[in-house]
Amino acid sequence: MSNFNQVILMGNLTRDPELSYTPGKTAVVEFGLAVNRKWKKQDGSEGDEVLFIDCQMYGKRAEVVNKHFTKGNSIFVQGRLRFEQWESGGKKHSRIWVLVENFEFVGEKSK
């Protein structure tokens, strides 16, 4: 059986995109995404949850995101989950992040 790894999210940027380039001159943009979820609890009150996700994108699309998005803008992203581990100061760390392959503007463009 094949495995499947696809993520689709819509949320708001938590910070301005950060653009850099690889030694091979490929554009790389990183940004944080906040995805909000609201629901009604059994007691009638409203539940609220925010998920913060690190995102990374490569190539021409990375330059487009950097040019047109700023902190607070809404964005729709599609990509794959990635897992990263490292050691720092004798402690092991890990994180899950999204490698964004496609995006869509949501609402008005900025910049």
Nearest to 29 by CA among 88, 96, 77: 77
What ranges do the domains of the chain cover?
Answer: 7-39+48-105
Q: Give the pLDDT confidence of 45-75 residue by residue, as tens digits.
A: 999 999 999 999 999 999 999 999 999 999 9
Mean pLDDT of the residues in the chain: 94
pTM here?
Answer: 0.85
Regarding the domain with residue range 7-39+48-105, which homologous superfamily does it belong to in the CATH classification? Answer: Nucleic acid-binding proteins (2.40.50.140)
Q: Give the pLDDT confidence of 19-36 residue by residue, as tens digits.
A: 999 999 999 999 999 999
**Mean pLDDT for the stretch of residues 75-80:** 98
Q: How many CB atoms lie within 10 A of CB 17?
A: 22
E-assigned strands of the chain?
Answer: 7-13, 18-21, 27-40, 46-58, 74-88, 91-105
Report in angstroms the alpha-carbon separations of 1 from 4, 17, 30, 81.
Answer: 10, 37, 33, 19
21 strand-pairing partners:
27
